[in-house]
Structure 1
Amino acid sequence: MNHPLRTALAATLATALAACSSTAPVMPSAPPINITPAMHPAPPLMATPAPAAPVVTDFWGEMRASFQMDGCDSDDGVARWARTFTQRPDRFEEQLAAVLPVVEYAKESAQAHGVAGEFALLPWIESSFQPVKGKKGRPAGIWQIVPSTARSMGLPSRKGYDARLDTAASTDAVMKMLAGYHDELHDWRLVAMAFNAGEFNVRKAVDKYGVPPAQPAVPKMPMKAVTREHLTKLLAIACVVRQPERFRVRLPPVDAKRSLEKVTVSGTKTVGQVAELSSMPVDRVLALNPAHTSANAQANTTILMPSAAAEAYREAAASGRQPSPASIAAPVDDTEAQGKTSGKPRSVKVASGQTLSHVAHANKVTVKQLMAWNHLTSDKVKPGQVLRLSP
C-alpha cells in the first residue's frame, strides 16, 4: 500500500523533472564582435604580370637558313680560307662584333631583294666592312664599287657626298644588281663571279662552255684565278657562320640598340643638324654615314642611325622642332682641321667599334706603322682616340 508522504514526494519530483526536460537553460548572450576592416581576411594577392620579354630573334640561325650555296666541305679551299680568317679567334670575334650592325642591314637588304644570304657577308671579302675612300677612278665603299659601275647602279656623287660610301644606298643598289644577275645566270656561284669579273665576262664564259654542274662547288670554268678565289672566300666566311665552333669562335650576339635604321631627312639639313635632332654626337653620325665628308655637308635624303636615335629624330621632326642654323665644326680627321699639307688627313679619330686594324685598312697603312707613329705598345685603341697617320 502507498504511504501518503512518499506519494507526495514522488509527485513533486516528477513535476520538477518534467520542467527540466521542457525548458532549456537560458545562457547570457555574448556581446557582438565589432569586426574592423583591418580584421577582415586580406583578399588573395593578384600575381603581378611579368613584363613582356623582348623578342629575341635567332639572327645567326636566320642567316644560316638564308644560305643557298654549298658549305664548309664543298671544296678544300673553302675550309682552308675559313681557317685563315679565324687564325686569331679573339680578333675575328672583335672585328665581327664591331661591324655587326652593318651585317644586319646587309642581311635585311638581301632578304628584301631575294638574294642568297651569303652575299650579306661579301663586304668582309671586299673591304672588311670598312668604307674605304678610293682615289680617283678607284673602288670605294664597303662593296668596293668603281665609279663607272656606280653610275650604272644609280649611285650619285657630288661635292661632300659619294654614294659608294653610303652604306644603305650602296648595299641596296648592290642587292638589286645581284638579284638581276641571278635572273640572267640562275646560279648564285656565277653571281659571285660576276660581281668580281663583271656580268659580261661570266655570261660570255657560260655561252661558250655551258652552265657549270653543281659539283665542284667552285666551278672549273676558265675564269681568272682571282675570280675563283673570290667565290671561295665568300663560301669560307659563310662556312665560319655555319660552323663557328669548328673554328673556335663565338658569333657575337645582336644588340637591338645598335641595329641600324634608315631615316628619311626632310628638307635641306646639314649632317650636323641631323645629329642635333637625333641627339647623336656628330662624329658618330659621320662614322655611320661615311659618304658625307663633314658635319657641314648637306645630308642625303636618308641617313643610317641606331634605332633609339632614329626614333628621337622622328619625334623631333613630328613636333616641328627645327635645328639650330649654326654650322657644326668638322671632326679632327678633316683635312681642313689639320692643315692641307698633303692629299690625305694627317690624323684620324677612332670611331666607336673600330679596331686598330680597321683604322689601318681604311687609311691604307699597316698596323705596325700606326703603332710606331703613335708609340703604342699594343693594338688596343679606344673610341675618340686620335691617331697619327704619318711619322
Structure 2
Amino acid sequence: WQFMFSTGKLNGLKVSSYIDERCDPIKSTEAACKYLSQLYGIFGDWNLALAAYNSGPGNVSRAIRRSGGKQTYWEIRPYLPRETQGYVPAFIAVNYIMHHAEDHLIFPSEVKTSYYQTDTITVREQLSFRQIQDLVGISEEELEFLNPAYRYKIIPKVENNYCTLVLPASKIGLFIANEDSIYRLASRDFEQHQTEAPTYVEVSDRITHRVRRGEALGLIAEKYGVSVSSIKRWNGLRSNTIRVGQRLTIHPRKMPSSASAAPKVSDPKKADDGREYVTYKVRNGDSFYSIAKHYPGISAENIMEWNSINNARHLKPGMNLKIFSKI
C-alpha cells in the first residue's frame, strides 16, 4: 500500500527493528481502507481521495485552490504533482484489468497457498523461519510469503506483547502439539549459533545520524531505507558533500541492520596524485552498479577504471575497491 512511515504510524501500523506492519497484507489493507475513508470524508470524491492518498491531502487542497475552486480530479489534475497526475489513471486502469482480465488474455498465476487456507497463531518465544522450516516442515520461502512483515526472517520475543505467525491451516495442529518442544529446540539453536542481531526497538519518526569516517550520503540513505534527495531536503543540503561529525536529521523507513551487515569502508586515504579515496570491501550480492549507488556522482564505470577492472564479472566478494571522492 506504499505507506510512508509517518502516515502508516498515524493509521496504527507499527515499525520496529524486526517488524514492519506496512508489509502485513491484512493490517496494511485495513489501515489503507481506514485512511481512504477518512480522505473521502474530507473531499467527498473517490478520485480526489486517491489523489490525496498518493500526494497527501495538503497537495490536493492546494491544487483545488490553484484551479479556482474546482472540485473534480480531472479539473485539478494539472495542478497536482506529476506522479499523482499518473496515479489515479493507473488505478483506474488496474481496476479495469481486474474486471476484464480474460478479455485481454491476462490470467492470475497460481499461488502455493491461498490466504483462506491459512490460520494465525500466537508465538510466545523468539523463533526464526529456518527453525520453523526444520521443525514444522514448511519452506522458508512460503513462510516469508505468508509473513512478509518480519524483516529478518525472525519472530522476536516482545516484552508485554506476543507476535503472531501465519501458517497453512494444515500445519497449525502440528505446531500447537509440539509448541513447547519447538521453543526448547529453538532456544538451544540460538545459543549454539549466536549471531549479532539488532535489538528490538520501535522506529522513531525522526532520528539524528552522526556522520562517521568513510560514510557517503548513499550509504546513509541505504542504511535507513530513504533516498539521497530526501536526506538533502531534510537537512537543507545543496550538494552531496558531508563532513565527519556532521549531524543529519533522518526520517527512517527502516532501522539499520546489525553492524556486521553494513558495508565495510576504510577511513579516507590519499593516493600518490593527492586525490582522496576510501576502500570499499565487496560483499556477496554486490555489483559495480549497486556499489556506485552509495556514492552520488560516481558511476560503475568510474569504479572499474579506478581499480583497473575491464570486466564486471571479475568482481568477487572480499575484494577491496578504491572509491575516489572526486571524479
TM normalised by structure 1 equals: 0.42
| Larger Rg belongs to | 1
Structure whose residues are more often strand by fraction: 2
